[in-house]
Amino acid sequence: MAAATATASTSFSPPPCCSLRRRFHASPDRAATMPLPRLLLLTRHQLRHRLRRSAVSVAASVKQEEILWTRAPVSVVEPAAESLFHVSVDLSDSPGLAASYVAAGQYLQVRALECRPAFLAIASPPSPSGTKLEFLIKDIDGSAASLICRLRRGDVVELGPVMGKGFNISEISPPESFSSVLIFATGSGISPIRALIESGFDAKMRPDVRLYYGARNLQRMAYQDKFKDWEYSGVNVIPVLSQPDDRWTGEKGYVQAAFARAKQILDPSTTGAVLCGRKQMAEDVTSILVADGVSSKKILKNF
């Protein structure tokens, strides 16, 4: 097993496996080398704007290079559904990074082979004594995430610091005050929702907790093996398929449409929501909830 060590990335030279386009970051003194006639055509305001823009580009590049990366071995890479992979990273030698994950909905950067990183929401629930982080990764050809999906047990990845505040569950607590919690997820957006459900938010103490989980079909729906456990914890799982086969008798279409048909918001003042997935879904569901009187502050997102 490869030892996990924290390293600061000082230079970035993509190997042949990364088909990355090198971006040119102009330096502030580039104007000094510009042909004189062209330089004279720039107003003082235009020149100042160009210099400021160049400085921002350089700063962004340096910021990426100064990220503290933690090297750790992959312990599991296996299909979770069609085009989705379950990936687990062993942090036995990096307890500090594992301990810094404190709230469902947090995310971090992960990269393989020193290629560009992918931003990934953490799928496993937070644990003070945790020794691993799990991810649900969508395999898209040519993406940074695709490289991670092609790794094998024992291969080493680099992880950046845990980022974000996660889902602020305090906004919909205590459970006596928020008896209804409506959860919405599409595709790989179920990843941090899994972390939320399995970390616990007193679902059994709330009479109405629903998860509307959308996917194209059952073949593309991850975590079906966990549905019974989620139901037992107090979450009513409602799969919604946009392109099901003829045998499907459950909800059809998009998540927002399925919710609009059902709604059943008994009291907007005691209703909260958690969203993760496609932007259009999040916008549509938010509009429906707000129109029905649910406070926008009680609609939680992790980004």
State the Cα–Cα distance between residues 180 and 198, nearest whole angstrom: 18
- DSSP codes, the chain: -PPP-EEE-------TT--PPPPP---GGGGGGS-HHHHHHS-HHHHHHHHHHHHHHHHHHHHHHT-EEEEEEEEEEEEEETTEEEEEEE-TT-HHHHHT--STT-EEEEEETT---EEEE--SPP-TT--EEEEEEE--TTSHHHHHHT--TT-EEEE---BS----GGGG-STTT--EEEEEEEGGGHHHHHHHHHH---GGGSSEEEEEEEESSGGG-TTGGGHHHHHHTT-EEEEEESS--TT--SEES-HHHHHHHH---S-GGGEEEEEES-HHHHHHHHHHHHHTT--GGGEE---
Strand 68-81 relative to strand 132-138, pairing:
unpaired
Is a pLDDT exceeding 60 seen at residue 273?
yes
- Predicted TM-score (pTM) of this structure: 0.79
Q: Encode pLDDT of 59-99 as tens digits.
A: 444 355 688 999 999 999 999 999 999 999 999 999 999 99
Please compute the mean of the pLDDT values over residues 124-147 and round it to a whole number: 95
* Domains of the chain with bracketed CATH: 66-159 (2.40.30.10), 169-300 (3.40.50.80)
The angle subtended at Cα 139 by Cα 137 and Cα 143, nearest 5°, is 105
Residue 101 has what pLDDT?
Answer: 97
**259 — pLDDT class (breaks 50, 70, 90):** very high
Is a pLDDT exceeding 70 seen at residue 43?
no
Is a pLDDT exceeding 60 seen at residue 41?
no
| Residue partners of 21: CB distance under 8 A and separation at least 6 | none
Structure tokens at 195: 């972390």
Is a pLDDT exceeding 80 seen at residue 173?
yes
Residue 204 has what pLDDT?
Answer: 96
Residue 4 has what pLDDT?
Answer: 46
